[in-house]
Amino acid sequence: MENRSANESEGMQLSRPQPDLEIDYTEVKGKTYSCIDNCALCCLCQPELLPDEAIRFRGDPVLAQGVAERHISPEVKGTALKLRGAHGACHFLANKRCKIYDLRPHFCRLFPVNVFVGWRIQLLTNLSCRGMGLPGSNLQEEAEKIIADYGRAELSEQLDHAKKVFADFVRNCRATGVAQSFSSLRSAADSLMDELTDELGLSRVLTYAEHGRTRQNASPTDIARLARRSDAVADIQERALMDGTELFDLPDLSLLPIYIDEGMVWKIFELKEKRIVGYVLAEDGTTDEFVRIDPNEVELLPFEEQGRRLLGEYLSTINSRDCFLGHAAYLCDMDDYEFNFAQAYLGAMANNALDLWWRSSFLAGLDGREELGAKEIRNGIVFFDMDLLDLPTIGAFI
Ligand code: SF4
Ligand code: SF4
């Protein structure tokens, strides 16, 4: 399944007509951002080119030098820009400045805003950007300009396509008896925030995801009750260690997640000879080792109140993202609709909460911290959100 998708308010009831071009600005509303000098984190993501940009870049002798033969992710089939030294920054970055700023591609112009098309259009923010929340540009105004630039015809076309994909998903769910209303899933997840930020609660939700039984179109209360009453079989510390280690166990450095620290230093971590090796990454792709850790020494650290609150707020943001719901739908489809959609959704939410908890603990441990306050969770979100937005999903980022 390539690009699927449904109807939020009625969940599985697709018969109700949707307002044309429904656009959700909730995530950008009231937010500001300012680009930070010497950051350039977004220039470490290999930007794809739109079809007309690919023609423009290939037709210009200077721009053509920056066009890659292939994207680092094999599943991306379109044209993209080259990275330097295979895993460094974009070909056009020099001393953390874009050499083709006025000619930069569409996806570079959008950052840190993302436009997701599912059963509606939704504007999202990339919380890996450390400029988010700084006084500066009004993100809703930026987002409105982005939407205006697309033009109605293009948005309609993209939306029609994505709605069909979501409708296919809904039909498949119904046919296999695993359907749930999207709004019920979100309500259930919201009511489980205490569980999702707690070791015992996470174990219950993960056990529910794997072994629970849920009837089709259950109420949010029933879904949450089933998750809460599940046995706590999943070993959270062991799972965090396994998933956290796997995160850095990739064959190609270019695929590793990138972290930008508070001093604007780019860092990557690789699993090598059973140790996590940390490198400072330079623009040209060269690396300089700065730390070597035994993964068994990384433990999930306890939360301070502010840290737990921020984690809960972030999980609520994820819970409102249509691309995340599309990701759970993708997982449901990959599992051939073997599990109820509520289990797929809450399982994905719990796995991501655990991933973020582990990343926050890992980074905090490097700084010698023993508890996770707001600053440590914020660092974890910076490390995590870009990867979350990159998860496979139905619907599309445009
Ligand atoms: S990640 Fe944010 S702050 Fe950093 S360069 Fe990109 S837009 Fe600017
Ligand atoms: S084209 Fe410019 S803005 Fe875009 S990734 Fe490359 S250096 Fe950064």
The 10s digit of each residue's pLDDT in 52-62 is 999 999 999 99
pLDDT (tens digit per residue) in 297-341: 999 999 999 999 999 999 999 999 999 999 999 999 999 999 999
Nearest partner of 356 among 327, 385, 328, 329, judged by Cα: 385
Instruction: Answer whether residue 48 shows pLDDT above 50.
Output: yes
pLDDT (tens digit per residue) in 339-383: 999 999 999 999 999 999 999 999 999 999 999 999 999 999 999
Nearest ligand 1 atom to the CA of 96 is: 5
What is the Å distance from ligand 2's center to 45 Cα? 9
Backbone angles phi, psi at 246, to 5 degrees: -60, -30
Residue range 208-233: average pLDDT?
Answer: 94
What is the Å distance from ligand 2's center to 63 Cα? 11
Pocket test for ligand 1, best of 33, 42, 266 (most atoms within 8 A of CB): 42
Residue nearest to atom 8 of ligand 2 (CA): 43
Residue range 172-193: average pLDDT?
Answer: 97
Pocket test for ligand 1, best of 41, 104, 266 (most atoms within 8 A of CB): 41
Mean predicted lDDT score pLDDT of the chain:
92
Where would I find the beta strands (DSSP E) of 8-79? 23-24, 32-33
Specify the pLDDT at position 239.
93
Provide the terminal-to-terminal Cα distance of the chain, rounded to the nearest Å: 18
Question: Cis (ω within 30 of 0) for the bond into 112?
Answer: yes
Residue range 257-262: average pLDDT?
Answer: 96
Residue 93 CB less than 6 A away from ligand 2: yes
What is the Å distance from ligand 2's center to 62 Cα? 14
Give the C-alpha separation, 390 to 188, whole Å: 24
DSSP notation for 152-168: HHHHHHHHHHHHHHHHH
Task: List ligand 1's pocket residues with C-beta within 6 A.
Answer: 35-36, 39-42, 111-112, 129-131
What is the Å distance from ligand 2's center to 43 Cα? 5
Q: How confident is the model at residue 4 (pLDDT cuts 50, 70, 90)?
A: very low
pLDDT (tens digit per residue) in 143-176: 999 999 998 899 999 999 999 999 999 999 999 9
Q: How confident is the model at residue 290 (pLDDT cuts 50, 70, 90)?
A: very high
What is the Å distance from ligand 1's center to 40 Cα? 5
Specify the pLDDT at position 151.
87
Residue nearest to atom 6 of ligand 1 (CA): 42
Instruction: Answer whether residue 272 shows pLDDT above 90.
Output: yes
Specify the pLDDT at position 10.
38
Pocket test for ligand 1, best of 36, 258, 265 (most atoms within 8 A of CB): 36
pLDDT (tens digit per residue) in 61-113: 999 999 988 777 777 778 999 998 767 899 999 999 999 999 999 999 999 99
Specify the pLDDT at position 88.
87
Q: How confident is the model at residue 38 (pLDDT cuts 50, 70, 90)?
A: very high
Residue 120 CB less than 6 A away from ligand 2: no
